Amino acid sequence: MNTREWLEALVAFDTTSRNSNLELITTVRDSLEKQGITPWFAHNKERTKANLFATLPATAGPEAGNTQGGIVLSGHTDVVPVDGQDWATDPFKLTEKDGSLYGRGSCDMKGFIAASLALTPEFLQMPRLRPIHLAFSYDEEIGCVGAPAMLEEIQKRGIKVDGCVVGEPTSMQVVVAHKGINVFNCKVHGRSAHSSLTPQGCNAIEHSARLICAIRDFADAYKAKGPYDQLYDVPFTTMTTNQIRGGIAINTIPDLCEFTYEFRNLPGMSAKEIQAQVERYAREELLPKMQKEYPDARIDISTIAGSPALETAEQEAITALVRALTGDREQRKVAYATEAGLFQQIGIPTIVCGPGDIGNAHKPNEYVPIAQLERCEDFLRKLGRSLQTA
């Protein structure tokens, strides 16, 4: 199948993160097995989702059959919901219009996966001295929670890799750095009471508001004082509270309030230290006030998801290679997070480069220009040919 045919097949699978991706993953596995490749899966605990990893061994010279080294082509199979969005076409049916292909995930990021799969037969015919690896993950869109299972298995199997390209939409431009993302859930437990007897209660919503405002204060301090990196469109670490739920009635003091917050840290800033200041405020400032009202009051903070920041040096071989193949010499850093930081965390030098514009991701009528897919195919062919030399 060519890239368009693969993309049509991939978009047809509703792999919204709340759903299983197994039907898509097994379709990819079956195709690879027919070509003599044996992928392996790394499942979630419920075995309802899976990462896929496959190696196309070296094909030439004394290294023929070698599975170590080489380059990983990485992409996530899940997509964001279409709920409440006004689509002009069926989001799970690939539609061509004005030189672009529309459908959920066409840009973010099934286009890159489709191109990688379409080029696989060519890769297998190339006289390569080093392997190519395919790494397709689940649940990237909800905090990069799927890929760690695959990366853990890579380490267990002793697989060594020279570099990785994560094909997130960058308009086929080279991205060498991005922020980290860290997402937390907070449950503030107070005591309920009739609202006419306010002193008998401990208002979980009001105390949550204090913590939420403290998080905003931390965010304002980063905005005002830095540190800064002006290569980012948002050149400082950000912190936001994005969901909140609490209360059962207008005349009842709430005993529980639950909210989620996130921060996106610049490379070099410790995520642990940023989180520590939130927990310190909760423990040392807020909780004592709550326990004066209700001795059993408590604040529970748990991690939902997290992915480290990425910063790949210009001196890394993968950076030099991808810059040479694309002709792109500009240094770019982005505020959104990807799985690239996870690969780098286990010692695999990684850059981000893929078809489509991130500005089209997650929106209704998501699309990828056909010209971008063609550029991606050209890049992948050049990448494969670069592995023909030691």
The catalytic site residues sit at 78, 140
Half-sphere exposure of 124 (CA within 13 A, CB side): 16
Within 10 angstroms of residue 180's Cβ, the number of other Cβ atoms is: 22
Q: What does the DSSP assignment read for 124-167?
A: HHS--SS-EEEEEES--TTTS-SHHHHHHHHHHTT---SEEEE-
- DSSP state for residue 339 in the 8-state scheme: T
| Count helices and strands in the chain by DSSP H and E runs | 10, 18
Q: What does the DSSP assignment read for 9-76?
A: HHHHS--BTTS--HHHHHHHHHHHHHTT---EEEE-TTSS-EEEEEEE---SGGGTT--SSSEEEEEE
Q: What is the rounded CA–CA span in Å between residue 49 and residue 42?
A: 9
SS3 call for 191: strand
Q: What is the rounded CA–CA span in Å between residue 160 and residue 348?
A: 8
Q: SS3 breakdown of the chain: % helix, strand, coil, rounded to 5?
A: 35, 25, 40
Q: What does the DSSP assignment read for 232-274?
A: SSS-S-EEEEEEEEE-S-TTEE-SEEEEEEEEEPPTTS-HHHH
